[in-house]
């Protein structure tokens, strides 16, 4: 058996995290709702047919808790305007004290209760996921999160977008990518590979004398493949190593970045080929790619934070990709709600497997 060379690709694709290259305070934007008629909607296309439980969104801030809560609704997209049609076909109210974090409404149904009818969607069907006030009261104010490519609007998929009515009437944001998750009634999630995600960016600063002093992507690939390089989002203000470990934490290879060899001092994409690579990754086997500062000058790494570990299944990489950290070469601690923004550069796949074929073992990826 041998690896078959294939056209090189990255997992996930580059533009999946294209907005993250901005300073995250810019990339992770928000639409402010603070008046009657204000709404934020996310227009997405159902990646598979099925029945929907809900969509999950994120509040970046709660300026003043809405007295009567927020309403999340599914609406039909007006094919003449690209806006929601204004009819709350299925909805759920979120009441009580809201905090600036993920919002996971109850079942979204025709009557807003657990017993109403859910929405059924066809493959590729446009859906509007709309957030508005249940009943606005003066001073109500929340900020709904979305991803911005900050004017570089072609970086955002044209077919998924945020439609902002923060001044009462809808306007489609050309530089937007939705920050939502879509849950089906079989417990699966919509998986998009166009940047739409409920994983929100966060920056972590650390150095060689920090605890932890290594922050890694712990991952598995469901098929044997050839890893030629890595692409990641960091801010390498000082020397930093990127280390590939096997499951026993033995070093397979190391890439060293230096601060002089970069085009810009802001966080952004770095890429390199493994100097002793390419390396074969066995199927269903744990590896880690660790970001390891080599001086006491801090560097920064960009993570994505998810509502819970289950939501890793809403990403193209799936549930086996998440954060691992350690200090002083000790044992690793994992956090399945966080994932460093690290991409694999693959240029070969083993298409022949032993043990009767079938390739990779069954996984929990749900497309």
State which of positions 247-276 bind other proteins (CB under 8 A).
Answer: 255, 257-258, 260-264, 266-276
Choices 119-127, 179-187, 199-207, 209-217 (CB under 8 A): range interacting with other proteins: 119-127
Rounded to whole angstroms, the Cα distance separating 55 from 42 reads: 10
Closest of 364, 3, 365, 27 to residue 195, by C-alpha: 27
**Smaller CB separation from other proteins, 152 or 187:** 152
Interacting stretch for other proteins, rule CB under 8 A, among 43-51, 203-211, 291-299, 334-342?
Answer: 43-51
> Which token pair is 158?
């044209």
Among 59, 104, 155, 291, binds other proteins (CB under 8 A): 155
Which C-beta is closer to other proteins: that of 18 or that of 88?
18
Contact status: 123 vs other proteins (CB under 8 A): yes
112: left (phi over 0), alpha (psi -120 to 50) or beta: left
Binding flags for other proteins, 210-249, as an x/- string (CB under 8 A):
------------xx----xx-x---xx-------------
d(CA 130, CA 40): 6
Query: If you compute the radius of gyration of the chain from its CA atoms, what whole number of angstroms results?
Result: 22
Site for other proteins in 299-318 (CB under 8 A): 316-318
- Answer yes or no whether residue 291 interacts with other proteins by CB under 8 A: no
- What residues between 77 and 96 interact with other proteins by CB under 8 A? 77-82
Longest dimension (CA), the chain: 69
Contact status: 295 vs other proteins (CB under 8 A): no
User: In this structure, are residues 160 and 177 in contact, taking their beta carbons and an 8 Å threshold?
Assistant: yes
Residue 78: DSSP 8-state: P
Which is closer to other proteins, CB of 138 or CB of 154?
A: 154
Residue 167 interacting with other proteins (CB under 8 A) = no
User: Is 358 an interacting residue with respect to other proteins (CB under 8 A)?
Assistant: yes
Q: Per rule CB under 8 A, is residue 202 in the interface with other proteins?
A: no
Q: How far apart are the first and last CA of the chain?
A: 29
List of residues 6+ apart from 269 with CB closer than 8 A: 14, 21, 231, 232, 233
The answer to whether 294 contacts other proteins (rule: CB under 8 A) is no
How many residues make contact with other proteins (CB under 8 A)?
102
Only one residue has tokens 């109850």, namely 106
- Is there binding between residue 61 and other proteins (CB under 8 A)? no
The answer to whether residue 192 forms part of the interface with other proteins (CB under 8 A) is: yes
DSSP label of 82 = S
Among 137, 138, 154, 280, binds other proteins (CB under 8 A): 154
What's the rounded Cα separation, in Å, for the pair 221 and 218? 11
Among 33, 191, 291, 301, binds other proteins (CB under 8 A): 191
Pick between residue 142 and residue 227 the one whose CB is nearest to other proteins: 227
In whole angstroms, give the CA distance from residue 359 to residue 282: 12
By the rule CB under 8 A, 352 interacts with other proteins: yes
What distance in Å separates the CA atoms of residue 51 and residue 118, rounded to the nearest whole number? 7
């Amino acid at each position: 058996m041998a690896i078959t060379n294939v056209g090189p690709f990255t997992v996930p694709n580059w533009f999946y995290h294209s907005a993250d290259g901005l300073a995250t305070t810019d990339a992770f934007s928000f639409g402010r709702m603070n008046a009657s008629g204000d709404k934020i909607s996310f227009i997405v296309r159902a990646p598979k047919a099925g029945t929907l439980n809900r969509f999950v969104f994120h509040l970046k801030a709660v300026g003043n808790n809405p007295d009567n809560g927020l309403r999340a609704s599914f609406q039909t997209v007006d094919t003449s305007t690209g806006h929601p049609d204004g009819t709350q076909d299925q909805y759920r109210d979120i009441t009580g004290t809201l905090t600036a974090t993920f919002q996971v409404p109850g079942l979204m149904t025709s009557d807003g209760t657990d017993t109403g009818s859910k929405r059924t969607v066809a493959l590729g069907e446009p859906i509007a996921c709309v957030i508005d006030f249940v009943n606005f009261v003066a001073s109500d104010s929340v900020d709904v999160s979305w991803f911005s490519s900050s004017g570089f609007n072609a970086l955002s998929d044209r077919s998924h977008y945020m439609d902002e009515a923060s001044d009462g009437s809808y306007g489609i944001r050309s530089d937007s990518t939705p920050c939502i998750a879509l849950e089906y009634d079989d417990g699966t999630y919509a998986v998009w590979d166009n940047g739409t995600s409920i994983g929100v960016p966060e920056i972590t600063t650390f150095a060689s004398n920090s605890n932890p002093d290594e922050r890694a992507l712990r991952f598995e690939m469901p098929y044997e493949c050839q890893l030629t390089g890595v692409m990641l989002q960091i801010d390498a203000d000082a020397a930093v190593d990127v280390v590939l470990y096997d499951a026993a934490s033995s070093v397979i290879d190391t890439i060293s970045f230096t601060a002089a060899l970069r085009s810009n001092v802001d966080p952004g994409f770095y890429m390199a080929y493994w100097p002793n690579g390419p390396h074969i990754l066995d199927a269903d086997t744990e590896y880690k790619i660790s970001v390891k500062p080599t001086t006491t000058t801090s560097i920064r790494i960009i993570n994505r934070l998810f509502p819970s570990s289950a939501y890793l299944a809403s990403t193209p990489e799936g549930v086996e990709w998440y954060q691992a950290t350690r200090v002083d070469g000790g044992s690793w601690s994992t956090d399945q709600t966080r994932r460093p923004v690290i991409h694999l550069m693959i240029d070969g796949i083993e298409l022949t497997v032993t043990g009767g074929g079938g390739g990779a073992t069954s996984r929990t990826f749900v497309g």
